[in-house]
Every structure is written in C-alpha cells, then in structure tokens.
Amino acid sequence: MKSQFDGKKIVVGVTGSIAAFKVAGWVSSLAKEGADVTVVMTESACRFVAPLTYGALTGNPVLTDMFAAEESNAISHIQLGEEADLIVIAPATANTIAKFAHGIADDLLSTSVLAADCPIFVAPAMNSRMLANTATQRNIGILKELGFRLIEPESGQMACKTEGPGRLPEWDRVREELLAAFTPQDLKGETFVVTAGPTREALDPARFLSNRSSGKMGYAIACAARRRGAEVLLISGPTALAAPFGVLCREVQTAEEMYEAVIPASHEASVIIKSAAVSDFSPETAAVDKVKKDDAGFVLQLRKTPDILQELGAEKEKYGYLLVGFAAERCEHLEAGEKKLVKKNLDLIAINDIGGKETGFETDTNQVTLLDRHGFTELPFTSKAATADLILDRVCKLLSEK
C-alpha cells in the first residue's frame, strides 16, 4: 500500500540548531516514502550541516538564499509556500520561532511561511533555559494561536551536556504527527477503548499460561484511530511493542486485571475494540514457591476467567457504545465468528483465520473477514496497519448508521 506521503510536496525548513543533523534522517525517510521534499535552510543552519547533505537525500536543490532563488528563476519566495502540501520547520530555533510569531520575513524560510496556505508544523529544539524563557514561551503561545502545529520537544540529555526539555523528538513520533495532516479526521469526537496483546495467568512465581498474541493488530488499530482523530485508551497485556504516539496506554497482566481495567473504561467509551487474546482459563491457585521437577504428578486445576466481551455485550445498550470483537479461528472460522457475533451481542466481528503462515498471531500481515448486520466482507491480505484502517472504515459506517 502507498504511503500517505507519496506524491506530497513537503517543505522542510532547517534552522541554526545543533539538532539539524537529525533532520537529515527525517528528510531521507520522507523521500523514501515518495514525498517530493524541498529543504530550505537559514544562513545559520548552513553552519551546522552542508546543504549538499539534504540535496543528495531529496534529489532536489536546497534553497538557502531568497534573492538567488529569484535570480535563477527556479522558484519564487511566494511559490514555495503556495505550492507546499505541508511545511515542517525542524529544528526550529528560538530566533526563528520569534520571527514567525511576529510576522518577520527577512529570509526565504520566513517569507515562504508567511505566504503559505498549508499545515505548518514547528519542532522547537534548544537548550532548556532558552525554551523556558518567557519570551520563547510567549512566542510559542502566539504560534499556537496563529494555527501553527507544535511538535512538542522531548526531555533528555542535550548537546550542551545539560538535562531537560528541548530535544528534537525521534522520527517515528514526528511521522505520526505529520501523517495526521493527510488523514481525514473522521473519528474526531469519538472515544475509543482498544484492548491488545495476551494475558498471563501465573502458575508459580516463574511460570504462566499465555498465548501467541503479539498485540500487533490492536496496536495498529489504536494508532490508526488516533491518527483519524479519536481519543484512544489502549489496554494492553504484556507485549514487546512501544506505546503508540498520542495514545493513552494502560498495561495489565492477567485476565482479571484486564476485566478491572476494561469495564470502568467502557462506561466512557463510544467505541470498544477488543482485540486482546484474553485467557479463558486461569490456574485455580498459583503456587507460592516454584514448582519443582521432582514434585511428580503435578496436576493443574483451572477455573474460568471473567467473560469481558459477554459483559460488554450485555451492557452495550445501557452505555451506548459500538462493540467490536475479534475471533481467532482455525477451521470453519466464518460459522464460529457468526455464532460469536450473536452470542456476545457485537456490532462487528473481525474474524482471523489463524491457520495461515502470514496471518493471525505474531505476523505483520493479516487476512480478516468482517461480519456485521450487512453480512460478510473479506478484506484483502495486507499489512496489519492497512487492515486496521479497513476495520475503522467499517466502524465509521456503523457509527453513521447509529
């Protein structure tokens, strides 16, 4: 599937901060995803990184001088801002932020920004004291009022050997923020609860019962829903995945903990997507000490865990949320999914055929069949990220019919 950056005209404005080197990586990633990237540098920025670096990475000339650009007839100071689909200023110095806040247009970058008619992201990067300075804070406040989109700096060790806020964030986070500008905000105003991952039921202090869920499908849904404008709470069992940007995450271990987290959260939700693989059974008691191999004939007594989906289905009309479940089935998966849809009072069920090598647990790809009151729809075999968006398209349709 094509990247949302593909074919987009993106202007990257680089200013005079030591973090300018980091943006070479961002520019390279944007170009790899098919964006047509033009880098504009301030005079100070050219002291930190040679324009050639960005030129080689984008395949486009790097613009540094307003008058030279005009003379060569290549591009005018107005055209750049007018034609861009998105502008991102990174790193943005205190000086450049001050100029934007006050409409100063004394170089190609600040002039292009004044003439622009597209989303403009500003990623400040500076020493913590410069950032905390009242003048800088006031200027950042003005930028927000003017409609600039702020990419909040992170805390950590700075180039000047001090610790604190002011660092340029990593690309993964920035990418998410930029992508939202190209994504229809069709889930704005919705409050999602998404569950993901496996649960772990302790046998003794060292061992547990669990399953092969990696959490990838649920994390992809949480990430896509946030990008489409929803507020998302992700309740996750143990996984190796990083929390998606902009999503509130709550970690749980056991089915019982999942229940305790999901039920109260459901009262505030407009959409609940239960993609977690919650253990159906838990050991009756967990041994206090590690069970030894010489304890011959170890018998494990299991009890049922609470049926979270059943309870959510029973309470659905009372709280008014849309309820989406998942079914992981190996054979006769459509019949099994249909039964679950009715039994648990779901609005939609995503049926995973876990019999395939590249679908279901642990993989980055999936093949899902959706079932709702309209009938079955077989989604294509594709990435979990693309599958997440297709599931959310159906959620949007069901929300509009509510």
Ligand X SMILES: Cc1cc2nc3c(=O)[nH]c(=O)nc-3n(C[C@H](O)[C@H](O)[C@H](O)COP(=O)(O)O)c2cc1C
Copy the structure tokens of residue 1: 């599937």
How many C-alpha atoms does 191 have within 13 Å on its Cβ side?
9
Torsion of CA 206, 212, 216, 217, to 10 degrees: -130
Identify residues 65-104 at the interface with ligand X (CB under 6 A): 93-96
Of 168 and 181, the one with the shorter C-beta distance to ligand X is 168
Closest contact distance (angstroms) between CB of 22 and ligand X is 11
Q: State yes or no: residue 151 binds ligand X (CB under 6 A).
A: no
The answer to whether residue 396 is catalytic is no
Closest contact distance (angstroms) between CB of 41 and ligand X is 8
Give the span between the Cα atoms of 309 and 31, in whole angstroms: 43
Q: State yes or no: residue 387 binds ligand X (CB under 6 A).
A: no
Of 160 and 300, the one with the shorter C-beta distance to ligand X is 160
**Centroid of chain to Cα 100:** 29
Give the span between the Cα atoms of 349 and 390, in whole angstroms: 13
Q: State yes or no: residue 139 binds ligand X (CB under 6 A).
A: no
Number of residues that bind ligand X (CB under 6 A): 15
Of 38 and 93, the one with the shorter C-beta distance to ligand X is 93
Closest contact distance (angstroms) between CB of 370 and ligand X is 48
Give the span between the Cα atoms of 335 and 31, in whole angstroms: 45
For the range 56-61, what are the long-range contacts, defined as Cβ-Cβ under 8 Å and sequence gap of 24 or more? 57/24, 57/27, 57/28, 57/31, 58/27, 58/31, 59/31, 60/36
Three-state DSSP class for residue 127: coil
Identify residues 316-375 at the interface with ligand X (CB under 6 A): none
Identify residues 9-28 at the interface with ligand X (CB under 6 A): 15-19
Closest contact distance (angstroms) between CB of 183 and ligand X is 30
Q: State yes or no: residue 169 binds ligand X (CB under 6 A).
A: no
Contacts of 296 (CB under 8 A, 6+ apart): none
| Residue 391 near residue 368, CB atoms below 8 Å | yes
For the stretch 185-219, what's the b/e string if a residue is b when 16 or more beta carbons lie within 10 angstroms of its beta carbon?
A: ebbeebbbbbbbbbbbbbbbeeebbbbebbbbbbb
Of 134 and 400, the one with the shorter C-beta distance to ligand X is 134
Report the Cα–Cα distance between both ends of the chain, in Å, rounded. Answer: 31
Of 86 and 122, the one with the shorter C-beta distance to ligand X is 122
Q: State yes or no: residue 128 binds ligand X (CB under 6 A).
A: no
Closest contact distance (angstroms) between CB of 159 and ligand X is 7
Copy the structure tokens of residue 334: 């459509």
Q: Which of 46, 118, 160, 249 is catalytic?
A: 160
Identify residues 25-54 at the interface with ligand X (CB under 6 A): 42, 44-45
**x-or-dash pattern for ligand X, window 281-300, by CB under 6 A?**
--------------------
Closest contact distance (angstroms) between CB of 108 and ligand X is 11
What are the residues binding ligand X (CB under 6 A)?
Answer: 15-19, 42, 44-45, 93-96, 125-126, 130
Q: What residues act catalytically?
A: 160
